[in-house]
Amino acid sequence: MKSAPLLALFLAACSSMSDTSPSTVSSRWFGTAQNGRPAKLWTLRVQHLEIDVTDFGATLVAVRVPDTAGMVADVVLGFDDVTGYESANNQYFGCTTGRVCNRIAKGVFTLDDYTYRLAVNNGPNHLHGGGPRSFDKVFWNAEVVGDDVTPGVRFTYRSRDGEEGYPGNLDVAVTYWLMPVPGHASLQIQYEATTDKRTPVNLTNHAYWNLAGAGAPSAMDHELWIAADTYTPTDDTLIPTGQIAPVAGTALDFTKARAIGVRLDELIGTPAVGYDHNYVLRRGAELAEVAKLRHPPSGRSMTIRTTEPALQFYSGNWLRGQIGKGGKAYAQRSAVCLETQHYPDSINQPHFPNTILAPGTRFESKTLMTFGLD
């Protein structure tokens, strides 16, 4: 808990993003894509929270929040324009992933007696929706929604029947909302989808977080808590074996908050090369509190609530020093992903929570990230 003088200092230093300032939405050009289409960037602000989102990949480009001294930093990895997001340096930074996020074993599944074959783009497996028409690589339609209190940008996209090998026409909406909370502010990502043919759907956002600021050399000093007593063990290609195992006594145990790097060495020699694990979340309220990331030196924290049953925790093991926003290098393990979703390879594992969307039903999911000071 901060003292009253420190809190006063914080509020004064953040006067340019004060609680009394009206919420705002603005937009600008974000470069021209390889197909000649101009990309657009929207900036949303409420209280002490400001974000940038773009229509390329329905992507979260920036999240700017203050520390306890009032210093504002952008805490997600990304690029200065659309060119970076189309480059080989982009490792799904901030994007919407789908139709099915995470992995599908060998890029194959059978549904209604028909076998579908998808792109194999991660060793022997399908990852994050596949190739050139996966959700992170296409333009979405956009509109500003909400009001002066709760501003938002809604992105929509129709994935045609057969696109990236998936069945059915899938209509998808992803809305980024900023929500005022006394003393804090929250970013909510809302997902909706409908289909005209049975198809698997599993959507998430793939932001890489470093609460010290994007480009800081490591995120392994962050403290993490996850409301999960179990996880889904995987084979050598990171496909779940079908088991549900306890985290107790392992390096995967974050049931009490601790620094991420404390037991990292135990995982370096495994196929995951660090943390890249699906946690089975405890369920409570519909929008349950499931994780908290904290950076003690800055005091910044992010609390995650979600309607999803699982969370993939990835410790940035394959970041390689690529240059991102403002010329900053993104070193290995300099950011982490906390992806709320259904379990990996659920389409091939019937005892996992269902990911099949049927005609006449609606896929709905929400994840809420509240930024505070601890």
Q: Kindly report the pTM of this predicted structure.
A: 0.93
**Measured distance CA(219)–CA(66) in Å, rounded:** 17
- What is the DSSP code (8-state) at residue 23? P
Domain ranges of the chain: 4-373
Query: What residues in the chain have per-residue pLDDT under 70?
Result: 1-22
What confidence tens digit (pLDDT) does each residue in 47-101 have?
Answer: 899 999 999 999 999 999 999 999 999 999 999 999 999 999 999 999 999 999 9
Catalytic residue among 184, 206, 295, 342: 206
Provide the sign of the torsion angle of the four alpha carbons 53, 56, 58, 59, taken in this order: negative
Judged on CB neighbours under 10 Å (0-12, 13-18, 19+), 298 is buried
**Measured distance CA(18)–CA(128) in Å, rounded:** 38
What confidence tens digit (pLDDT) does each residue in 15-62 have?
Answer: 334 444 567 899 999 999 999 999 999 999 998 999 999 999 999 999
**Measured distance CA(264)–CA(314) in Å, rounded:** 12
What's residue 6's pLDDT? 32
Please tell me whether residue 85 adopts helix, strand or coil conformation: helix
What's residue 23's pLDDT? 79
Active site residue 206: yes
What's residue 22's pLDDT? 61
For the segment(s) 4-373, the CATH number from 3.40.50.300, 2.70.98.10, 3.55.40.10, 1.10.10.10 is 2.70.98.10
H/E run at residue 266: helix 265-268
- Cβ atoms of 235 and 241 within 8 Å: the answer is yes
